[in-house]
Amino acid sequence: MRVVLTGGGTGGHIYPALAVGRELKRRYDGCELMYIGTRKGLESSIVPQHGVPFEHIDITGFRRSLSWENVRTVIRFWQGVRRSKELLRKFKPDAVVGTGGYVCGPVVYAASRLGIPTLIHEQNVVPGLTNKFLSRFVDAVAVSFRESLPFFSNCPDVEHAGNPCASAVVGADRSRGFSSLGLAPDTPFVLAVGGSRGAKALNEAVIQIVPMMNDLPDVHLVFVTGERFHEETLTRINRLPSAPEGRVHLLPYVHNMPEVLAAASLVVSRAGASSVAEITSLGVPSILVPSPNVTNNHQEPNARSLADAGAAVMMLERELTGDSLFGHVADIMKDSVRRDSMALAARKMGMPDAAAAIGEQLDRIMSKRQRK
């Protein structure tokens, strides 16, 4: 069994592909993987760290306005298709799996032209341009959100599988989450995190709620600032005259996020696809603040999906202040019945077997091709 994985630009495309790769290696003894990405994307550093052979093509994304750069992008696309065909003919994969980002466009398209079984995975509620384009050529589409299904009605095999990143957090050890933070087991705490790099607007609101945490005397605040904001945030919080002593834990980054997330009573977070997948898989109540600075505003529909299900509260960034954020935090943390209800709603949305579901879907399309 030989499979090519492709997808890149952000971790939201890369980590689902790697999760699918781990599942395929579990399913098939001797399964060989190859990852095709770009040299400039995060995948060029992340993928080799996971022991997966990496090859590159040169491609850029389309701009959403008329531009001569889009003409050059079309030229690069066809050059990328030629380069992808060379790599595919050499590796001879049984299937190609794409997880979005402009790099997977020429790779998956080339595979479809060569008659190789192809599957794409869409992480967000509203599909990206690349996956919309590829859906006309692939054998199968897997989606993270049920709301995405109508976007792919032109594909013969579409499945609501969930996000494979959810599979990676199954069984996260809550006790290790508490101990890694130096907290006693079952200590109630709010986890505020804006992603691996942090989020300035979210950080600003969380700084403002630090003195307000005195109104929640038994609740701790675990504040993951992001490396680039950590020193400034630490300085500002140390200057606050009324910060609750011993109950604010400021961290630049968390390396065991699934364990910490599993231990949290409530998470305040952006609404990236991978974050949402982990939150629902672990069944954690959340306050989601979708970033307005992402392509196609895709985080807002992600957050709205959880809010509509009763699993989260959605706050738009333009509505975000310290007072408004703390109002939601206090309401949820003072109401254990509501927290339990939100947790149950989140778990009902979670799909911890997503990687296995995608593996089964891949089996199906390969068997169908063999019968032909």
- Residue 299, annotated ligand binder? yes
Give the 3-state secondary structure of residue 137. coil
When comparing pLDDT for 89 and 65, which is higher? 89
* Mean pLDDT on 175-200: 91
Indicate if 190 and 231 belong to the same structural domain.
Answer: yes
Indicate if 130 and 180 belong to the same structural domain.
Answer: no
371 has a pLDDT exceeding 80: no
* Mean pLDDT on 15-20: 94
- Residue 8, annotated ligand binder? no
- Residue 124, annotated ligand binder? yes
User: Token pair of 347, please?
Assistant: 């778990």
Cα separations in angstroms, 287 against 38, 58, 247, 325, 331: 34, 39, 20, 9, 11
Residue positions counted in the chain? 372
Q: What is the pLDDT of residues 312-357, one digit of tens each?
A: 999 999 999 999 999 999 999 999 999 999 999 999 999 989 999 9
Number of domains in the chain: 2
- What local confidence, expressed as pLDDT, does residue 293 receive? 84
Q: What is the pLDDT of residues 247-282, one digit of tens each?
A: 999 999 998 999 999 999 999 999 999 999 999 999
Banded model confidence at residue 66, pLDDT cuts 50, 70, 90: low
- What local confidence, expressed as pLDDT, does residue 41 receive? 83
The model carries a pTM of 0.87
Q: What is the pLDDT of residues 131-180, one digit of tens each?
A: 999 999 999 999 999 999 999 998 989 999 999 999 889 889 999 999 99
User: Token pair of 310, please?
Assistant: 């009763």
Distance CA 125, CA 41 (A): 23
Indicate if 157 and 291 belong to the same structural domain.
Answer: no
Indicate if 270 and 123 belong to the same structural domain.
Answer: no
Indicate if 217 and 306 belong to the same structural domain.
Answer: yes
- Residue 30, annotated ligand binder? no
Distance CA 346, CA 311 (A): 5
- Residue 11, annotated ligand binder? yes
Indicate if 63 and 159 belong to the same structural domain.
Answer: yes
Indicate if 116 and 246 belong to the same structural domain.
Answer: no
Indicate if 86 and 7 belong to the same structural domain.
Answer: yes
Q: How far is CA 40 from the centre of its chain?
A: 20
Indicate if 29 and 156 belong to the same structural domain.
Answer: yes
Q: What is the pLDDT of residues 105-122, one digit of tens each?
A: 999 999 999 999 999 999
Banded model confidence at residue 40, pLDDT cuts 50, 70, 90: confident
Q: What is the CATH number of the domain that holds 109?
A: 3.40.50.2000
* Mean pLDDT on 45-54: 94
Indicate if 367 and 233 belong to the same structural domain.
Answer: no
- Residue 12, annotated ligand binder? yes
Indicate if 142 and 176 belong to the same structural domain.
Answer: no
Alpha helices in the chain (DSSP H): 11-27, 43-49, 68-91, 104-113, 129-134, 165-169, 174-180, 200-209, 230-238, 257-263, 273-282, 299-308, 322-333, 336-349, 354-371
Query: Domain span at residue 290?
Result: 171-349
Distance CA 277, CA 303 (A): 11
